[in-house]
Amino acid sequence: MPHAQLTYSEDIELNAVEILKQIETVILQHDAGAEDCKGRAMPVAQFHHTHLMADVSLLPKAHRDAEFLAALRLDLFGLLSRHVPQPCWLSLDLRFSTPNYQTEFLT
């Protein structure tokens, strides 16, 4: 199950919920079996330079190779760049969860 976390300087206005939904859509376009992407957004009051940092993590799987990551990174960066006002620093960290990651839906 993927995770997306947006951290951004509060001097920019973002529709963070919409961005998170679109991140999930892009991930599913690259990997239909990826399931829901849990997301959260955190505006930051104290910062130096206007920025958006997107951290997206996935479980490691055999089909998620370097080519997969390069294509996903390109599409996610394009998506994010359409949502941030300019000028603005934009960073994306696309990574794999560690082997110790565990998630369960508790009821």
Q: What one-character-per-residue DSSP string does 52-69 give? A: EEEEEEE---TT--HHHH
pLDDT digits (tens, 9 = 90+) for 24-77: 999 999 999 999 999 999 999 999 999 999 999 999 999 999 999 999 999 999
Tokens of 26: 């892009």
Instruction: Write phi, then psi, for 15 (nearest 5 degrees).
Output: -95, 80
Q: State pTM to two decimals.
A: 0.93
pLDDT at res. 105: 83
pLDDT at res. 102: 87
Q: Walk me through the domains of the chain, giving residue ranges and CATH numbers.
A: 3-96 (3.30.429.10)
